[in-house]
Amino acid sequence: MINAKTRLYGLIGKPVEHSLSPVIHNALFKRYNINAVYLAFDVDDLESAVKGVKALGISGLNVTMPYKEQILEFLDELSEEARAIGSVNTVVNREGKLIGYNTDGIGALKALKRFTEVEGKRVLLLGAGGAGKAIAYTLSRLAKVVVLNRTERKAKELEKFGVKGGKLSKENLKRYLSWADIVINATSLGMNEDRSPIPKGLLRENLVVFDIVYSPLETNLLREAREVGCLTIDGLWMLIHQGAESFRLWTGVKPDVEFMRREALKGEKRSI
């Protein structure tokens, strides 16, 4: 029951109306008997929104596109990972001090580890935005990583993590897909659209294909990869694992990820 002691958490971004995060986190609050609610906020003015978090005593946030990088300047403190990556997807309000974290990298790593070995593998990562940076930072400690991005400069900037950066072109796709053990789509291409960042003819049977897009659950890339015989990993696994880490940071509770996925799938069916 909502009362004067109920804590408020939320998601800020634009757009947010299709997010499954409220479904997942509200189910977790109920499961663990935590007096809290989670709402999604479609934000136009980020600075005002962050000031509102402090003014209203909102306990924590998830941050999504397009604010993962912009929010850094409005926070009081950053975790080591968030500072290195330059991107925040989780905020904890500790007695009025807003602390930024990034759980995208660990979310992607845990999603991958459910299905395949990562250490020592060759990883081709497409996209150098907020999520791509976090994944590159995290995986660079375990694997050999090449990052391709439409704007080559952004991919090259990630070489500070010990990865190799290059331009996302057909030539480079062909070159590095033949080299890679794992390919990760960290771009938004394929989100609610029937397009893929990789031509089907470049995919091969022994490749692991991970798409961080989770709407639709099976993107065009994953469908074509499955048809070729690749091992495929959908983006909902990353959403679940990064959300689990956010929940732990907010509450101190390590949640059941299998339960989270079941609730997310129920929410997806209700939204169709």
Mean pLDDT of the chain: 95
- Do 114 and 206 share a structural domain? yes
Binding residues are 19-21, 64, 80, 89, 104, 127-131, 149-154, 212, 214, 235, 242
Q: What percent of the chain has pLDDT over 90?
A: 92
Domain annotation covers residue 124:
yes
> Averaged over 115-127, what is the pLDDT?
97
- Do 195 and 166 share a structural domain? yes
pLDDT at 116 > cutoff 80: yes
Domain annotation covers residue 267:
yes
pLDDT at 64 > cutoff 50: yes
Kindly state the tokens that stand for 141.
Answer: 């400690």
Beta-bridge mates of residue 8: 37
Domain annotation covers residue 1:
no
- Do 245 and 228 share a structural domain? no
Query: What are 208-264's pLDDT values in tens digits?
Result: 999 999 989 999 999 999 999 999 999 999 999 999 999 999 999 999 999 999 999
* CATH (domain of 77): 3.40.50.10860
> Averaged over 98-127, what is the pLDDT?
97
Contact 210, 143 (CB under 8 A): no
Domain annotation covers residue 89:
yes
Q: Which residue has the tokens 């960290």?
A: 186
Query: What are 125-168's pLDDT values in tens digits?
Result: 999 988 999 999 999 999 999 999 999 999 999 999 999 999 99
CA angle 8/24/6 to nearest 5° reads 20
pLDDT at 95 > cutoff 90: yes
- Do 109 and 92 share a structural domain? no
- Do 152 and 54 share a structural domain? no
pLDDT at 269: 59
Domain annotation covers residue 2:
no
User: Which pTM does this prediction carry?
Assistant: 0.93
Residue 268 burial (CB < 10 Å; 0-12/13-18/19+)? middle
* HSE-up (13 A, CA, CB side) for residue 127: 20
Binding residues for NADP(+) are 80, 127-131, 149-154, 212, 235
Residue type, 157: E
Buried-exposed string 14-37: b where 16+ CB fall within 10 A, e elsewhere? eebeebbbbbbbbbbbeeeebebb
- Do 125 and 34 share a structural domain? no
Beta-bridge mates of residue 12: 41, 63
Residue type, 6: T
Into how many domains does the chain fold? Answer: 2
How many angstroms separate the CA atoms of 123 and 59, rounded?
A: 36
Domain annotation covers residue 228:
yes
- Do 190 and 145 share a structural domain? yes
Beta-bridge mates of residue 271: none
pLDDT at 192 > cutoff 80: no
pLDDT at 271 > cutoff 60: no
- Do 228 and 190 share a structural domain? yes
Confidence of residue 10 (pLDDT cuts 50, 70, 90): very high
How many angstroms separate the CA atoms of 137 and 122, rounded?
A: 15
- Do 221 and 136 share a structural domain? yes
- Do 245 and 215 share a structural domain? no
Q: Is the dihedral of CA 157, 72, 102, 237 positive or negative?
A: negative
How many angstroms separate the CA atoms of 24 and 40, rounded?
A: 12
Contact 93, 57 (CB under 8 A): yes
Contact 102, 88 (CB under 8 A): yes
pLDDT at 194: 83
Kindly state the tokens that stand for 111.
Answer: 């999603």
> Averaged over 22-29, what is the pLDDT?
97
pLDDT at 106: 97
* CATH (domain of 151): 3.40.50.720
- Do 96 and 110 share a structural domain? no
Domain annotation covers residue 148:
yes
Binding residues for shikimate are 19-21, 64, 89, 104, 214, 242
Q: What percent of the chain has pLDDT over 70?
A: 99
- Do 229 and 124 share a structural domain? yes
> Averaged over 113-118, what is the pLDDT?
97
Domain annotation covers residue 13:
yes
Q: List the 36-42 sheet strands across, edge first.
A: 36-42, 7-13, 60-63, 90-94, 97-101, 77-78
Domain hosting 76: range is: 7-102+239-271
**Positions marked catalytic:** 68
> DSSP strand E in the chain: where?
7-13, 36-42, 60-63, 77-78, 90-94, 97-101, 122-126, 144-149, 164-167, 182-185, 208-211, 231-233
How would DSSP label each residue in 36-70?
EEEEEEE-S-HHHHHHHHHHHT--EEEE-TT-TTG
